Amino acid sequence: MNSSNSANNNEFSEAVALSLGLGVEVIELAQLSVDEERARLHLERKVERAFYEAGMALKELRDRRLYRSTHRTFEEYCRERFGYGRDAAYLKIVAAEVYDNLNEIMPTNCRQIPLPTNEHQVRYIAKARLKPEMQLEVWQQAVELAKGKVPSGRIVKNVVRQIKAKPIPISFRKGEVCRLIAKDNPELRGKGGCWCIVTEVYEFSCQVNTWNGEYIVRPEYLKSCNYSEIECRQMEDIGVRMSRLHEKCGRDTAALWILNGLAKLDKPYLEPIEEKLLSLLETEYLTDNEGEDSD
């Protein structure tokens, strides 16, 4: 009975394959005409760019909110319309953006390097949030390891790991004002965009002070504010005043709200209203002697 069913299933599968043109056809190798070569190249490009087209279409659907007539969120729309899980649509979008970056900045003399043909080959580049120039470096190394062919996702993943493991040279100096880039660092959660002072420079990391904490971070989590030495000292003075207040005001919501706002100053000085607010807190929480020290 089982062997009979198996035979019937095989016959059915073969019939379906033949009806769909999926049968294995062995032909003699033959030269293509110029038009046929052009058609083949055109069709191959369409197959290769399929994931890119999907990602860019999803990006436009998201950015223009074209789902709003039927769904409240983009995630809900993608799940019900395309069957995508929580991160699938976003991975397709960022994979398409990586493809765009590679295609844009690929040097003219490297145009023979194949571009990605599916999302899995670039998802690790996308997840690593590398700059476009670094994305190109990863892709070129991966193609080289694949002997000039399109590399697998596994090869790309290994190259990303190797590049991220390389220490970035320290270019910051002691006393420099920098802005924190939280990215994927859980220790810096809620600190993204806050300014800090570099207090120590080590071989592969820096120690920095903020108004309410001290951190040791790698250089990729810092961005210099490019302030002069005088401006850096001005910011350091502001930081000292804020730290003193933080020690005294405890959990005063209003005081913390002001200090959190000042933690994201985008200039090396206080506006008059900011100076008034900080001075008001000092009057409220610091003794006369402490207030004099901060002047």
pTM of this prediction?
Answer: 0.46
243 vs 25, which has greater pLDDT? Answer: 243
pLDDT of 294 over the 60 cut? no
CA 96 – CA 198 distance, rounded (Å): 37
Q: Please spell the DSSP secondary structure of the chain, one letter per residue.
A: -HHHHHHHHHHHHHHHHHHTT-S-------PPPHHHHHHHHHHHHHHHTHHHHHHHHHHHHHHTTTTTTT-SSHHHHHHHHH---TTHHHHHHHHHHHHHHHHHH--GGGTTSPPP-SHHHHHHHHHHT--HHHHHHHHHHHHHHTTTSPPPHHHHHHHHHHHHHSPPPP---TT-EEEE--TT-GGGTT-TT-EEEEEEE-SS-EEEEETTEEEEE-GGGEEE----HHHHHHHHHHHHHHHHHHHHHTT-HHHHHHHHHHTT-SSSS--HHHHHHHHHHHHHHS-HHHHHHT-
- How sure is the predictor about 229, in pLDDT bands with cuts at 50, 70 and 90? very high
**pLDDT, tens digit (0-9, with 9 covering 90-100), for 149-172:** 999 999 999 999 888 777 667 889
CA 99 – CA 139 distance, rounded (Å): 10
- How sure is the predictor about 108, in pLDDT bands with cuts at 50, 70 and 90? low
Q: Where do the structural domains in the chain lie, given as residue ranges?
A: 47-165, 168-295
pLDDT of residue 109: 52
pLDDT of 20 over the 50 cut? no
For the ranges 22-36, 125-139, 215-229, 275-289, the maximum mean pLDDT occurs at 215-229
**pLDDT, tens digit (0-9, with 9 covering 90-100), for 241-259:** 999 999 988 788 999 999 9
pLDDT of 39 over the 50 cut? yes
pLDDT of 189 over the 80 cut? yes
- How sure is the predictor about 291, in pLDDT bands with cuts at 50, 70 and 90? very low
Indicate the range of 36-40, 67-71, 84-88, 290-294 predicted with least confidence.
290-294
CA 83 – CA 98 distance, rounded (Å): 23
- How sure is the predictor about 110, in pLDDT bands with cuts at 50, 70 and 90? low
Nearest to 269 by CA among 238, 223, 226: 238
Name the token pair of 202.
Answer: 């080590």
pLDDT of residue 90: 87
